[in-house]
Chain A
């Protein structure tokens, strides 16, 4: 347990980012397995809906990411896909170490390209090594 004097209050924004990442990874796994079974065994969305005893429309909204999913829903879907969700807590430093190794292995360079002064810069200046690029050229207008 960390010393109380060193406890850092985690910003809400950071917590939300972690939640979003967690949900996305679980969602990806479910979709990946569903697509695999669909291609290999002809498993359909209807089969999955029947297995779970839910409306096919609702399942479709869940599988397309239109509806939010709670832990229970992920668990139910995993079960219906004959899978089990494995949970492993990995320290952030270890995740970063693995990511650095992966970047080294792929020999990637930062590719967030930033735009300024009327032209798109060709110089990648992002902090992380990435394989795709997002060019952010303009001020995003919000009302």
Chain B
């Protein structure tokens, strides 16, 4: 794991609650281990859909976290950054656009020649 990702897991910052980070890690574990995840409950394709930016969501534990990234190919999720849900404001707020733009920039930087994977259904991704 990169130092940066490890740093976030070890020291996520004060705006992230420990219990929420634990839940985020469990959600990532479930994805990596191929356990059941549901569309729009655990993962969601964000608008505009053509940008193919996804979020992995924490559930249950208060102070939810959104992990932003994309699928370059089936079953491969690129984890770009994480934000507390509360910090993003209402859906459509410019903060959402910034979170999405950050993923778009990373798509262009890392894999400029590879179009994000779109798939035909949710199950093509997980």
Contacts and interface: CB of A to CB of B under 8 A. Distances in A.
A143 B1 contact: no
B38 interface: yes
Contacts, number: 140
Given A20-B23, A112-B1, A120-B110, A134 B61 contact: no
Nearest to A131: B34
A138 B4 contact: yes
B30 interface: yes
B25 A111 contact: no
B7 A139 contact: yes
A20 B25 contact: yes
A24 interface: yes
B60 A27 contact: yes
Contacts of A65: 41-42, 57, 59-60
B60 A136 contact: no
Interface in B41-63: 41-42, 57, 59-62
A13 B22 contact: yes
Interface in A117-138: 119-120, 126, 128, 130-138
A38 interface: no
Contacts of A68: 60-62
Interface residues of A, number: 44
Main SS of chain B's interface residues?
mixed
**Contact residues on B (Cβ < 8 Å of other chain), bracket:** 35 or more
A92 interface: no
A16 B2 contact: no
B30 A130 contact: no
B59 A27 contact: yes
26 contacts: A13-B22, A16-B18, A16-B21, A20-B22, A21-B29, A24-B60, A68-B61, A69-B60, A108-B34, A111-B32, A112-B1, A114-B1, A116-B2, A120-B110, A128-B33, A132-B75, A135-B72, A135-B76, A135-B78, A136-B4, A136-B78, A136-B79, A138-B106, A139-B3, A142-B12, A143-B13
Interface of A: 12-13, 16-17, 19-21, 23-24, 27-28, 31-32, 64-69, 108, 111-116, 119-120, 126, 128, 130-143
Given A31-B41, A67-B60, A132-B77, 16 more contacts: A24-B26, A65-B57, A65-B59, A68-B61, A111-B75, A114-B2, A120-B78, A126-B32, A132-B32, A132-B75, A133-B75, A134-B78, A135-B72, A136-B78, A138-B5, A140-B7
